[in-house]
Structure 1
Amino acid sequence: MSFDGVFTHAMISELRTKLIGGRVSKISQPYPNEVIITIRANRKNQPLLLSAHSSYARAQITNIPYSNPKTPTNFTMMLRKYLESGQLVAIDQIDNDRIINFSFLTRNELGDEQPLILSLEMMGRYSNCLLVNPTNAKVLDTIKHISSDQNRYRMLIPGATYRQPPAQDKLNPFTDTTDAFKSLLSEFPNKDVLAKELQNRYQGLAGQSSLDLATALHADTKNLDNSWKKFFTQFDTPVPTILSGKKLDFSAIPNVELTTGQSFDSLSEMLDTYYLDKANKDRVQQQGSHLIRVVKNELKKNRGKQKKLEKTLKNTETADLLRVQGELLTTYLHLVKQGMTEISLPNFYDNEKEMTIPLSNQISPSKNAQKYFKKYQKQKNAVIFVNEQLLLNQKEINYLEEIQSEIELAEPKDLPDIKIELQQQGLLKEQKLNKNKKAIKVKLSKPDEYYATDGTLISVGKNNLQNDQLTMKTANKSDIWLHAKNIPGSHVIIHSSDPSDETVTEAANLAAYFSKYRQSASVPVDYIQVKRIKKPNGSKPGFVVYEGQNSTFITPDLQKIMAMRRK
């Protein structure tokens, strides 16, 4: 089920219960197309996420931590100006469309009451979030500005007259009294065809919703009115579930075809879990595009260098042959005459079989022999040098692959640390200088914190700099260190010298999930006391060595990780 009209209906019911009557206490815009409005309601701060993302547009209460940009956007400043301390008085859906209007009651500069509407339009690439003054129907600001050049019908810029999106010529299934679905059922007995016709006739039904409705109608054709009413009544008391089929999906109601899934207490909690990876990856791709490009180019360059070195090494395989040819010429030098272009000599290394040796007729016989020895020595030296370069270059490739893996596993808040690391390694330009021409010190972000079932604190480093800080400086020597075996991943620290087996398993789950193999069914994880971890001098950030470890195999489980985070 996508975030369609019927899901929007269910979400509005949840938001009304938790937010109506609350007051705006904080407004931030951590990402370009997403705003978070913290509403104080029922003695609790509720972070309301309004996303106008082209792929993940949604409204929900979120518990996922976020970090604010240093400089607020113009849209953020406009929302703060008009909505801070305002009271949320209503949440409404336009028919059964994917449009939610949040009605606020605020006061203007004169102290008079002023109604305002924050409208979230979830329409794919046309998604937007608008602050509107309903008194004069003027747009105060939008998260995406749409000029008349982009849309002649509907201009969405500050000061423009607000117009609703064009109305769909479809029926609202929650208020329809025409019973048109009955004729559709008799006209289209095939369930899949009926689903498409329901989608064409009724507003707010995405593919899965219309198929679920068609299935429900087919299940009880003798009592269609009850089937219809029962289906839509479910959205007033949803059962949030992430479904496990060919691909993960989410639903606000029980699904008769996909019975296996993960249940949640609220729609918002379900969406947090479902979008955790998807939204984070997209945000990281946007905000870390420069870092991704730098690492990708460096990897390409070093992999190309590795191929050239391997080719050079292959060319040195003739070194022993050159040595034998030089020794044969030296031994039988009396047989070599000036001006010869080749000579066949018995090879005492191969049962006296004759070997034909090319010669230069421009130099003397002794210089011909010396020429072969020089080539031999050159290739022998090259073997040592090339092997050293192959080893160094492979280490660089391994390091860059680890950085690439870090970015893939990163959250937006982790990107500044990765940028600092790339600067320290000379892969990016140095940090900006202050007035005294000294590098501006940037404070590293803190490792993520989780809690085991018994309350034990577990820390997770999300990048190499955090890993070094956590393992080599923050952790006690008696703490337990964990890491996915022989693959890029996070350093995980159990802040206990004698953790229970259950705590070790939960920490191993974190180490497996925050590794390159998080999608694998069985990930090997090493664990050992911190005092046995060593960092070689001159090694890359995040690199450590150890021995005497224990190992376990873990299947990463995101649901358990989310539970550990919420404690």
Structure 2
Amino acid sequence: MPLDGIVTYALVEELSTELVTGRMTKIHQPTEHELIITVRKNGQNKNLLLSVHPNYARVHLTNEKYTNPKEPPLFCMVLRKYLGSGFIKSVEQISMERIIKIRVTSKDEIGDSLDYDLYIELMGKHSHILLVDPSRNVILESMKHIGFSQNRYRALLPGQTYIFPPDQGKINPLKLDPAEFVKKLDFNTGKIDRQILSILMGVSPLVSQSIANLAYLGDEKKYIEVFERFQTQLMENDFYPHIGRGQKEDFHVLKNVQLEEPTTSYETVSEMLDTFYQGKAERDRVKGLTYDIMRLLKNERSKNERKIKKQQQTLKKAEDAEQYQKYGELLTAHMHLVKPGDSQVTVIDYYDPDQKEISIELNPNKSASENAQQLFKQYQKLKKSKEVVTQEIEKAETEIDYLDRLIQQLEDAREEDLEDIRAELEDEGYLKRKSTKNKKKKKKVIHFDRFQATDGTEIYVGRNNKQNEYLTNRQADKEDIWLHTKDIPGSHVIIKSSSPSEETIVEAATIAAFYSKSKHSSSVPVDYTKVKHVRKPNGAKPGFVTYDNQQTVYVTPVESEIEKLRMKEL
């Protein structure tokens, strides 16, 4: 769900405590939708994420790492010019709307102190970040430029007067008397939750539904009581950040808001939001970047499936090869029965214990001898094709297995993994290699995902074929334990120990299951053996290995438990 005004209210209270009087030391714009501002306060650095992503617009402190572009975008450079080294004077919410104003005091070229306002409007696909000069209420720069041709109400362009989004005619719940609130409800009309939604500012359908449910079938006094409780929680900052992880994932900061079980509570609103949105925006971004590759791989997979289907039909015909040999021999023995122009001949089947008669189809334009030779040729052709087709089917099945592994890796890929995957596809001939003239190839440091078992043993995971091969063939010792999901596309996992405990093996197997196509399944089979028993066959596709002396363990991956074991990247 998107942030509503209530969550924004709780967030602003938290950010005011954490950031006010802090100094902006770094400003980065890793993507077209996101800003990361590093604020230093009381000797600590805190990263503030501002996102206007169309699906994941949000503001909160974050621990996630972002990759910054080589050249900062224009908006980022403008913010650095005006806000760099500035001090945060205040963090405010505009009424109970999803609009946050961060006032920053910084110095100009001659050392005079000036105030600037950074507005963040969290409104789904209409979200914006704008830098405004409060002395003139003029926009200095905006992350997205919106002219009057796109929005007749206001223009979000440098030099334009900043105007708030249109008023929805709702009332701030903190300024509404409970008795007045109840008077605005029409109990005869019904659909109380929708009425509450249309009356209260900053309230989402989740909150209005919860208020209606808590007062369900109650009288006016009951509704006043429920609304007063709701107001008190806001006024006293009595917040309970929690995430519901049922069939539909949701979050909120009010305890009475009903979320699907199981639920997890958090110390801060930022921690809740950082956890909820973790990886979601990146996966969405990566999905866009890999759309062309994913389509190519799926098309190649479909092509191989059609190829197998066609070859299986040929193989079925090849199964009848000996029948043609038999017909040829019987026809040779009964040539005297064939007359010129015959389209078939009936002969005695000497191979049948009962000596039954069978009919053999003939080409009327050929002699008996030529028909027999044709049958023998067909026999030789089918016999040879059976061997070739069997090999081609095996080759296509191997190709599908390889493509399945690549598709699984792309589905879980991070932005930094895409370069490796593209390079591999170029090496394998699926993509046209880009020109690298006059470009020096930089030696890339491989970063594995690292985990630490409960007993302290380190566990390494490769995220793509290049990492898998490097991890298994070069990083791991021969006596280390290697794990992989059984007959399921997934990552190579290494336990850095020759004799790990049973608990560590289960934890590593759970990680292997999570980094596979069966990450959402239960009782996933995972094989494990020593690295010395793992081999890559000559000419095999990247990431493909064979192994023996394995044992199998069945596990059910749970993301929250796996994340507890995660270590920082190398």
Shift of residue 127, structure 1, vs aligned partner: 1.3
Structure 1 Cα separation of the partners of residues 319 and 511 of structure 2: 47
Shift of residue 222, structure 1, vs aligned partner: 4.2
Q: How many residues align?
A: 563
Equivalent of residue 211 in structure 1, options 198, 202, 209: 209
Shift of residue 536, structure 1, vs aligned partner: 1.3
Letter in 2 for 1:230: R
Q: Deviations over 1:487-542 (max 9, x none)?
A: 11111222233333333332222211111111112222222222222111211111
Structure 1 Cα separation of the partners of residues 255 and 144 of structure 2: 36
| Map of 1:429 onto structure 2 | 432
Shift of residue 82, structure 1, vs aligned partner: 2.3
Runs of 4+ in 1 over 6 A off after TM superposition: none
Distance 1:302 1:83, change over 3 A: farther
| Map of 1:269 onto structure 2 | 271
| Map of 1:92 onto structure 2 | 92
| Map of 2:362 onto structure 1 | 359
Equivalent of residue 419 in structure 1, options 414, 418, 422: 422
Structure 2 Cα separation of the partners of residues 74 and 398 of structure 1: 45
| Map of 1:295 onto structure 2 | 297
Q: Deviations over 1:363-392 (max 9, x none)?
A: 332111101111111111111111111110
Structure 1 Cα separation of the partners of residues 451 and 442 of structure 2: 28
Equivalent of residue 399 in structure 2, options 386, 396, 405: 396
Distance 1:541 1:162, change over 3 A: same
Structure 2 Cα separation of the partners of residues 315 and 469 of structure 1: 45
Whether 2:130 is the aligned partner of 1:130: answer: yes
Letter in 2 for 1:501: E
Letter in 1 for 2:210: D
Shift of residue 399, structure 1, vs aligned partner: 0.8
Distance 1:442 1:382, change over 3 A: farther
Aligned residue runs from structure 1 range 451-470, under 5 A:
451-470=452-471
Letter in 2 for 1:209: V
Aligned residue runs from structure 1 range 36-47, under 5 A:
36-47=36-47
Whether 2:150 is the aligned partner of 1:150: answer: yes
- Secondary structure of the equivalent of 1:30? coil
Distance 1:520 1:68, change over 3 A: same
Whether 2:336 is the aligned partner of 1:334: answer: yes
Distance 1:314 1:80, change over 3 A: farther
Shift of residue 26, structure 1, vs aligned partner: 2.1
| Map of 2:495 onto structure 1 | 494
Distance 1:149 1:342, change over 3 A: same
Shift of residue 277, structure 1, vs aligned partner: 4.8
Q: Deviations over 1:126-183 (max 9, x none)?
A: 1122222222222222222212221122212233332211122110112324742222
TM-score normalised by L of structure 1: 0.93
Distance 1:414 1:174, change over 3 A: farther
Q: Deviations over 1:446-492 (max 9, x none)?
A: 11222233333222111111111111111222222222221111112
Shift of residue 93, structure 1, vs aligned partner: 1.0
Letter in 1 for 2:288: Q
Letter in 2 for 1:400: L
Identity across matched positions, percent:
43
Structure 1 Cα separation of the partners of residues 296 and 440 of structure 2: 22
Distance 1:561 1:221, change over 3 A: farther
Q: Deviations over 1:233-257 (max 9, x none)?
A: 4352322222133322222122465
Structure 2 Cα separation of the partners of residues 293 and 69 of structure 1: 26
Matched-pair contact (CA < 8 Å) for 1:240–1:264: yes
Distance 1:347 1:301, change over 3 A: same
| Map of 1:503 onto structure 2 | 504
Letter in 2 for 1:125: K
Letter in 2 for 1:366: S
Matched-pair contact (CA < 8 Å) for 2:243–2:250: yes
Letter in 2 for 1:411: R
Matched-pair contact (CA < 8 Å) for 2:206–2:257: no
Distance 1:455 1:86, change over 3 A: farther
| Map of 2:191 onto structure 1 | 193
Matched-pair contact (CA < 8 Å) for 1:2–1:250: no
- Secondary structure of the equivalent of 1:151? coil
Aligned residue runs from structure 1 range 379-394, under 5 A:
379-394=382-397
Whether 2:479 is the aligned partner of 1:481: answer: no
Q: Deviations over 1:251-307 (max 9, x none)?
A: 212246546312222222222332235333312112222222222222232222222
Structure 1 Cα separation of the partners of residues 367 and 261 of structure 2: 88
Structure 1 Cα separation of the partners of residues 26 and 11 of structure 2: 22
| Map of 1:534 onto structure 2 | 535
Distance 1:53 1:20, change over 3 A: same
Structure 2 Cα separation of the partners of residues 144 and 454 of structure 1: 50
Distance 1:203 1:162, change over 3 A: same
Letter in 1 for 2:427: Q
| Map of 2:81 onto structure 1 | 81
Structure 2 Cα separation of the partners of residues 8 and 465 of structure 1: 43
Whether 2:229 is the aligned partner of 1:230: answer: yes
Structure 1 Cα separation of the partners of residues 372 and 223 of structure 2: 100
Matched-pair contact (CA < 8 Å) for 2:53–2:281: no
**Structure 2: 5+ residue runs without aligned partners?**
none
Equivalent of residue 343 in structure 1, options 328, 345, 350: 345
Letter in 2 for 1:409: D
Q: Which moved more, 1:221-230 or 1:249-258?
A: 221-230
- Secondary structure of the equivalent of 1:31? coil
Structure 1 Cα separation of the partners of residues 55 and 537 of structure 2: 45
Matched-pair contact (CA < 8 Å) for 1:527–1:549: yes
| Map of 2:21 onto structure 1 | 21
Distance 1:260 1:81, change over 3 A: same
Q: Which moved more, 1:254-263 or 1:405-414?
A: 254-263
Letter in 2 for 1:331: A
Letter in 1 for 2:304: N
- Secondary structure of the equivalent of 1:106? strand
Structure 1 Cα separation of the partners of residues 318 and 436 of structure 2: 48
Q: Deviations over 1:45-97 (max 9, x none)?
A: 22211111111111111222222233322222222222222222211111111
Letter in 1 for 2:309: K
Letter in 2 for 1:343: V
Matched-pair contact (CA < 8 Å) for 2:2–2:56: no
Equivalent of residue 322 in structure 2, options 315, 320, 323: 320
Structure 2 Cα separation of the partners of residues 244 and 433 of structure 1: 47
Shift of residue 217, structure 1, vs aligned partner: 4.3
Q: Which moved more, 1:398-407 or 1:66-75?
A: 66-75
Distance 1:281 1:232, change over 3 A: farther
Whether 2:109 is the aligned partner of 1:139: answer: no
TM-score normalised by L of structure 2: 0.92
Distance 1:359 1:215, change over 3 A: closer
Matched-pair contact (CA < 8 Å) for 2:178–2:228: no
The CA RMSD over aligned residues, in Å, is 2.3
Whether 2:365 is the aligned partner of 1:374: answer: no
Structure 2 Cα separation of the partners of residues 432 and 41 of structure 1: 47
Q: Which moved more, 1:510-519 or 1:445-454?
A: 445-454
Structure 1 Cα separation of the partners of residues 160 and 437 of structure 2: 43
Letter in 2 for 1:37: I
Matched-pair contact (CA < 8 Å) for 1:131–1:142: yes
Structure 1 Cα separation of the partners of residues 241 and 515 of structure 2: 26
Shift of residue 194, structure 1, vs aligned partner: 1.7
Letter in 2 for 1:137: N
Structure 2 Cα separation of the partners of residues 527 and 171 of structure 1: 61
